Amino acid sequence: MTIYTSYYRGEIKGEAVSISLYPPPGWTGKHLLLFAPTPELLQWWKSSAKDATAQDEYKRRFRDILDSRQQLIQLWVGKQKDNLQDMTFCCFEPDGQFCHRHQFGEEVVQKYLPHLWGGEIGATRPQRKIVPSQKLNLTYPLQVLSLIDKCHSSGFPVVCDRTPCGYYQVSLQGEDLGVWSELGLMGLLSQLRHEFYRPRLIPSLAEQEEELALSEGVAAGIASVAEPSPQESSAPSSPSLITHQGKLEGEELAQVQDWCKSVKSKMFPSVSQYADGRMELHLRRFVSLASAKSEKKTVVKTVDSSMYPGAEMIEAFGEKLLPDFHQALVLYYPAGTQIKIHRDSPAYANGAAQINVMGRAKFSISGCQDVRKMESYWLEEGDCIAFDNKQPHGIERVGCDRFCVCFFKLKAEYLESERVEQLSLV
């Protein structure tokens, strides 16, 4: 594997990966926000003189951003050690012009993966051209092949077809299980072999489990939402899919909004494969969602919330909505972003709560594991809700900037392995 940098219209070797804040229209490669500048830094650069002094200041600010993302960067670095495919990280600026991708090459690749560094590719062609790498995966990685074999041996003949962009289209006996990255695929295949996770991944098994639960009388209330229909109102006809837990208003809401704005510069891009441009900040605990989708045990680290002045206010609201919660996620959705339909990580226990702090949002959720049967609810500013985070759910693209705070509990086995050292994300 070799790692290169280039620009979108230049030569690209192996897999193309965008690290600009927004990729160009029609981009079909991967988009990795982990190494992108923040919207604030991009806006500052556009309004600067773009001279040598501005470049030095940009580098200093971007270095601070990279430092704030060290925990996530280390997860990414560890994953590259088993990667056999060449990659080219791309941005807009032509070869020879100032660009943050050069700093990425120096301060990330050369620092942590010097043996993989291939340098900046000279851009001489006017149009982008994909150059097949000699190390391109013509067959599936050994880890993927091993997991597929284990699934087949367990009686689950899963089919994994590679898409042109390198992702995997997964199906099982005619049922579509979605499109996954390599990391997500390994997590999916691992979970298919576990009785607890299978019904949460396979719609037909979920329906069988639901019928069994109904027959035993332990799924009261589910029958009323078995055939949900989309709702555009904030007062749904099937309230069992979400539970309204009150509403923040007036000065109370304004204080939470001001606090979220104050920590916006300390947020980092979400590593979730479902999140599209979302930024986040963790309170109480940091959960490595990337590890949660692999065969390795999820890493849970304690976060010292006191480094975010005013966080105790957020935690107090969390205790009211989800008593004894283990993690709070402060989320920022820039206008036009979303989080696709998903089920929360296996590390999380059932049940979550959320405060829609700022911006109107359309929240969709299923009551029966079937993504074809979703109900939609409009969340207004200040709305506090609880919902089943193990059901498929998501937020449609927002029309304006949005802040929210989500509260979760972790399963006991993940808390038992929790690392006691403090994790700093700033």
Q: Would strands 338-342 and 275-276 be described as parallel, antiparallel, or unpaired?
A: antiparallel
Report CA-CA distances (Å) from 297 to 79, 329, 357, 404. Answer: 15, 21, 32, 28
Taking the C-alpha atoms of residue 272 and residue 290, their distance in angstroms, rounded to an integer, is: 8
| Nearest of 133, 137, 163, 113 to residue 12 by alpha carbon | 133
- Asked whether residue 220 is domain-assigned, the answer is no
In terms of domains, do 283 and 198 share one? no
- Predicted confidence (pLDDT) per residue in 60-74, tens digit: 999 989 988 887 888
**Residue 36, in any domain of the structure:** yes
Which of 15-29, 150-164, 222-236 comes out lowest in average pLDDT? Answer: 222-236
Percent of the chain with pLDDT over 70: 79
What is the pLDDT averaged over residues 24-30?
A: 86
Q: Are residues 177 and 233 in the same domain?
A: no
Of 250, 278, 247, the C-alpha closest to 264 is: 278
One-letter amino acid identity for 344?
D
- In the structure, what pLDDT confidence band is assigned to residue 369 with cuts at 50, 70 and 90? confident
Per residue in 260-269, is it b (16+ CB within 10 Å) or e — as a string? beebbebbbb
Over residues 410-424, mean pLDDT = 61
Reduce the DSSP state of residue 34 to 3 states and report it: helix
Of the candidates 75, 104, 92, the one whose C-alpha atom is nearest the C-alpha of residue 4 is: 104
Residues 124 and 151 in one domain: no
The order of strands in the sheet holding 374-379 is 275-276, 338-342, 393-395, 361-366, 374-379
Q: Domain range for residue 166?
A: 142-215
Q: Are residues 118 and 160 in the same domain?
A: no
Are 385 and 248 contained in the same domain? yes
Q: Is the pTM of this model over 0.85?
A: no
Token output for 224: 């009323």
Pairwise CA distance, residues 44 & 40, whole Å: 6
Mean pLDDT of the 191-211 span: 62
Examine the fold and report which residue of 131, 154, 173 is the final residue of a domain before the chain moves on.
131
In a domain, 136, yes or no: no
pLDDT digits (tens, 9 = 90+) for 144-156: 777 887 787 777 7
Residue 418, pLDDT score: 57
Mean pLDDT, to the nearest integer, of 360-385?
A: 88
Q: Minimal CA–CA distance to 402: which of 358, 336, 342?
A: 358
Rounded percentage of the chain residues whose pLDDT exceeds 90: 28
pLDDT on residue 203 = 62
Report which of 302, 352, 345 is spatially closest to residue 323, judged by C-alpha positions. Answer: 352
Q: In terms of pLDDT, which residue wins out, 425 or 198?
A: 198
